[in-house]
Amino acid sequence: MKGQLFFHTCMAIYLLAGSCLSTVALGGFAWNIQTVDSTGGVGGYTSIALDADGNPHISYYEDDNGDLRYAFAPGPSTYTLTMSVEPNNIGIDTVTPLVGDHVYYTGMANINAGRFLSCPDVYQFSHWEGDVANANSASTTVFMNSDKTIKSVFVATRECGDECHPDDLFGDYNNDCIINLEDYAQFAMNWLVCTKPECD
């Protein structure tokens, strides 16, 4: 039976030795064998079906009391990761995952934060608030074993040469983001300086 990752084959088998019912699943290239029931003489007349999420549902016979039994394997646990930013009133959208709720299975989730422009301010990542692996790293992880709320905190900066304050203005010879007498002085010092070959 085809699945989302390579292929997914699942079967229920009746093991005579010990009279137990097991499932055998092939996901990718590795077999996974799990005992479903081993109480009494179980496992005869086995029937298995997979639901829309690929989880097995099994009906089988129990010899001792002549009962029909049913077993199923629930899917993996999911948890909600809620992302937020501070300040939250300027539309910062340089965090991943984006601000809001996101559902994850148990395991590691990657989170990232980047520079955000809202001129005249450039917002730099400062730190994370919440249960993260490294609160001071713009790229880190969250272990999702429960619902988590994570906040990315930014600080506003204004520096000559940043995206909002370019230092490459024509005439700004000393690149200090302002054209003034200091630039004129540098211009005057080089007045009629010639670097052409014919000036050698």
Question: Within a 10 A sphere around the Cβ of 31, how many other Cβ atoms?
Answer: 9
Q: Number of structural domains, the chain?
A: 3
The pLDDT tens digits of the residues spanning 130-182 come to: 999 999 999 999 999 999 999 999 999 999 988 888 888 888 888 888 888 88
**Are 68 and 84 members of one domain?**
no
Model pLDDT, residue 161 = 87
Give the HSE-up count for residue 142: Cα atoms under 13 Å, Cβ half-sphere.
29
**Are 60 and 126 members of one domain?**
no
On whether the CB atoms of residues 104 and 133 are closer than 8 A, the answer is no
The pTM score is 0.58
**Are 148 and 168 members of one domain?**
no
**Alpha helices of 61-101 — where are they, by DSSP H?**
none
